[in-house]
Amino acid sequence: MPSQPLTDTEKQLIDAYNTILEKPFVDKYEDRWEDEPFDRAIDLFKSRAQEIGFADPFELLSKFKIESYETVRAQHKKGPALCFRQGWKSPILGTRVDPLVIASKCEHLAGPEFTGEERIVVLDFWASWCDPCLQAGPEVSQLAEEFTGQVAFLGINNESMFQKGAITQPPNLDRVIAFVEEHQDEFRYTILIDNAEGFAKDAVYKTAGYKGIPCAVLLVDGIVQYVGSPIDTLRPALEQALESISGGRNNNNNNTRSSSGRSSREE
């Protein structure tokens, strides 16, 4: 990912790419794929890139791991990972996770200390380099404030979420601490950082089968009830969980849910 902010012309090119070569083909994978519409889209994008001022748009797109028209075509034909398709269910739904154990292996950075009093806990996996994670912060914070005393929100940072292990010591640790301080208005809930072995990532995120961040794991009395994006679809899952415990019942494997949403996705 580029380390410097995009210029206005670079933003125009990215917008053209998303509008012409990405969004129209999101659901056209496997047996729904046709080459001819994509070929026409390539010609349209080339023309638009020239208008913007890019003779070779891949000079910029390659920084986002978009190497050629054929790699884009191949990815579209293959389609998204199963976890981003409608009807996917995480393999850990209905299994038990102890949030106190998870929290005890992490370092506390900000927000309330987690004591385990709440019956409902949300583990929110994120990284500072993930734009969708930053976008999700205010939404998760709003939920945390709305359900104070009923639901505990634990934001678990791991800068190497898609790699082996967790973060190393400085400079990564210092950078995360600085990031949390800078964005404290966006992240207004408990923020933890995974340990050097990546305990939380390996114990929960990797076993959940979700290939993107932010990733929310909803626990009710320690039982996984939801795995997916914390944006858009977490609120209904939370409301269902609150209803289940107010009625004196625990859904366990019944009505458990998985969901996709805006995320940084694993290759």
Q: In the predicted model, is pLDDT for residue 62 greater than 50?
A: yes
Residue 231 DSSP symbol = S
pLDDT at 148 over 60: yes
- Within the chain, all domains assigned CATH 3.40.30.10 are found at 99-265
The Cα–Cα gap between 97 and 26 comes to 34
The average pLDDT across 80-94 equals 88
8-17 vs 35-52: helix axis angle to the nearest 10?
170
How far apart (Å, rounded) are the C-alpha atoms in residues 157 and 169? 14
Q: Considering only 34-43, 101-110, 111-120, 165-174, which range has the smallest mean pLDDT?
A: 165-174
**Strands, sheet with 151-157, edge to edge from the N-terminal-most edge strand:** 107-110, 190-193, 151-157, 120-126, 215-220, 223-228, 257-259
d(CA 246, CA 243): 5
CB of 124 within 8 A of CB of 237? no
Between 140 and 164, whose confidence is greater?
140
Kindly report, residue by residue over 182-228, the tens digit of the pLDDT: 999 999 999 999 998 899 999 999 999 999 999 999 999 999 999 99
Architecture of domain 99-265 in CATH? 3-Layer(aba) Sandwich (3.40)
